[in-house]
Amino acid sequence: MDLVRKVSGTARRASLEARSLAALVRAGAVGFDSPRKTGQVVRALREYGPFGAAPRVAAIRHGGRTAIRDDRGVLAFDELDERVNRLAGAFRARGYGPGTRLAILCRNHRGPLLAAFAASRLGMTTVWLNTGFSPRQAGEVTEREGADVLVYDADLAEAADGVKVARARYACQFGPDEADEFDALLAEGAATAPPPPAKPGRVVLLTSGTTGTPKGAPRAEPKSLSTAGALLERMPLRARETTLIGPPLFHGTGLTTSLLSIALGSEIVLRRSFDAAQFLADSEATGATAWCVVPVMLQRMLALGEDVVRQHDLSAVRVVFCAGSQLSAEVSGKVTGLLGDVIYNLYGSTECSVATLATPEDVRAAPSSVGKPALGSRVKLLDDHGKEVPRGRTGRIFVGSTLPFDGYTGGGSKETVDGLIATGDVGHFDEAGRLHVDGRDDDMIVSGGENVFPQEIEELLVSHPAIADAAAVGVPDAEFGERLRAFVVLRPGHRLAADAVQAYVKDNLARYKVPREVVFLADLPRTATGKIIKRELAAPPG
């Protein structure tokens, strides 16, 4: 029996890698190059691993094509690889290498990518910090992660002041003519590649931190093609095109899409902060074929007005890759109406990686779904006793992937059952096998004995023509245990009373789902990755 299981497991893994390789070939990430180029690519991957070798492989295959377009201008793939080598050389001259931990506190531009690639080539560990951190948060996280070196943006100096590093810190400026400490490092290093480390560097991404201090989730270099294969098997990303990156690079969605685009030899467009009008203008100017966004970014584009969106030629856009938080049916429907069948909606997390991926067909058929399990992923819905629930019933979502989560750097892990990790969400599968996320496991409100998931109310509220954004939380109630409080952001020029909001919910959902209170706000508090910070909304006034 053990032999049968072993053979079966080997066959499944082989099939998974074959499907992943086919997807990479189809997309152009793997090509039929000359024997000389192929040998160079294989050597780079063997020496530096997929992350550290990414700029080198792209330079071999795509040379002088534009790799990065940012506020400083453009950088070609061969220039990117040379600068990574120079920075690695400068780091190495200062004694940085395996065991050195680099913290990055930067917005979206070439600097953090150069630093991360260089660190990986030296076997260093890179910790990506949230640019929205306060000095206290930045200090707590870097102390826990044991940071030795800090690369930071000059305008984030206040947060950087909270970071205590053991060795050195380097500031980045942003204008095309502004030299900085980071540029000085680049000028010192040699263009030759550094000696390969015994092991490639590791990457530490942080959890979103909506409920407390973010935890570090370390990732080793992947030993499988399946993460890239899971995305490229369903999304028509192709080589030598252009991708706009909306989310911050410290967010898994932004970083993964950037790496995937570099592997494809596609240009990535980075802006230090997201501006909906600028994003649309960049898309038209560059003929972008793909957008990487989080849902709130689509909301902000729609808030400009459909007439404004239609003023831009967005006909080249084939992929709108959306992840990070729940995409409402209302928003996906409007974007589909404007751009056509282009939305690819991913469900996953820092811990479990890719879980499901909805195609445009899924989005049209079931706008609120997050699609079917992706290549290499297993998704099960379990009850409180660890038993799988029937299709159509709500259960806790557990995910297994080919990129296993080894636990947080500060200790602890997520609940696991038979190798599957709890996402902290609850959901159900529909008859077609598509997953629907019904809400957070810990967000569920029990009001008067009835279970209420705020997400359902939030989805409904944003479908109201006068409401731009909404959130719902549970607050203590002496009579019912908990009661629902809704927070509403109105569209410009619209007025709406609290009782009208309550009546709208009553007309569309069960009576016990009507919020007892409605609070109007100018904006909802969100993390830099677009997730609503519900602990701030649930906090008592004052």
Identify the CA nearest to 298 among candidates 334, 264, 270: 334
- How far apart (Å, rounded) are the C-alpha atoms in residues 133 and 137? 6
Quick one: how far is CA 469 from the chain centroid?
Answer: 21
The percent of residues in the chain predicted with pLDDT above 90, rounded, is 65
Model pLDDT for residues 452-486, shown as the tens digit of each residue: 888 889 989 999 999 999 999 988 877 677 889 99
Mean pLDDT, rounded, for 380-388: 90
Whole-number pLDDT of residue 211: 45
The domain that contains 387 carries what CATH number?
Answer: 2.30.38.10
Q: Which one, of 298, 210, 182, lies nearest residue 247 by Cα?
A: 298
pTM (predicted TM-score):
0.85
User: Do residues 179 and 85 share a domain?
Assistant: yes
CATH code for the domain in which residue 501 is found: 3.30.300.30
The answer to whether position 63 is within a domain reads yes
359, part of any domain: no
Q: Check whether residue 206 and residue 166 sit in a common domain.
A: yes
- CA atoms of 112 and 172, how far apart (whole Å): 9
- Whether residue 401 is predicted with pLDDT greater than 60 in this model: the reply is yes
Domain boundary among 416, 440, 464: 440
Could you say which DSSP state residue 511 is in? G
Q: Do residues 76 and 67 lie in contact, with contact meaning Cβ atoms separated by under 8 Å?
A: yes
Q: Which amino acid is at 258?
A: S
Q: Is residue 184 part of a domain?
A: yes
pLDDT at residue 509 greater than cutoff 90:
no
- Examine residue 99 and state whether it is found in any structural domain, yes or no: yes
449 shares a domain with 434:
no
pLDDT of residue 210: 43
Mean pLDDT (whole number) for 489-498: 94
| 268 and 206 inside one domain | yes
**Count of domains observed in the chain:** 3
Q: Output the pLDDT for position 386.
A: 87
* Residue 177: per-residue pLDDT: 66
- Whether 118 is covered by a domain: the verdict is yes
Q: Give yes or no for residue 133 having a pLDDT over 90.
A: no
What does pLDDT average to over the chain?
Answer: 90
Enclosing domain of residue 509 = 445-538
Mean pLDDT within 385-394: 91
Has residue 320 got a pLDDT over 80?
yes
pLDDT band at 538 (very low <50, low <70, confident <90, very high): confident
Cα separation of 228 and 258, whole Å? Answer: 12
- Residue ranges of E strands in 53-120: 66-70, 73-76, 101-105
Whether residue 504 has pLDDT greater than 70: yes
Does the residue 183 lie in any domain? yes
Please report whether residue 182 resides in a domain: yes
| One domain, residues 390 and 501 | no
Give the domain-ending residue among 254, 273, 292.
273
Q: HSE (CB half, 13 Å, CA atoms) of 8?
A: 5
Per-residue pLDDT, averaged over 408-436, amounts to 87
Same domain? For 243 and 133 the reply is yes
Residue type, 99: G
Residue pLDDT, tens place only, 29-84: 988 888 899 999 999 999 999 999 999 999 999 999 999 999 999 999 999 999 99
Average pLDDT estimate for 139-161: 93
DSSP state of 512: G
For residues 171-185, average pLDDT: 79
Q: In terms of domains, do 428 and 453 share one?
A: no
Given 399, 425, 440, the domain boundary residue is 440
Supply the pLDDT for residue 10. Answer: 72
- Between CA 13 and CA 7 the distance in angstroms is 10
Average pLDDT over residues 298-323: 96
Residues 43 and 179 in one domain: yes
Q: Which of 181-185, 274-278, 316-320, 373-377 has the lowest mean pLDDT?
A: 181-185
Instruction: Read off the pLDDT of each residue in 339-346 and give the average, rounded to a whole number.
Output: 97
**CATH number of the domain enclosing 258:** 3.40.50.12780
Average pLDDT of span 122-127: 96
Under the banding of pLDDT at 50, 70 and 90, the label for residue 309 is very high
Long-range contacts of 73-81 (CB under 8 A, 24+ apart): 73/176, 75/110, 77/262, 77/265, 80/55, 80/110, 80/114, 81/55, 81/56
Q: Are residues 260 and 183 in the same domain?
A: yes
Q: Are residues 503 and 415 in the same domain?
A: no
Q: What does the DSSP assignment read for 327-350? A: PPHHHHHHHHHHH-S-EEEEEEET
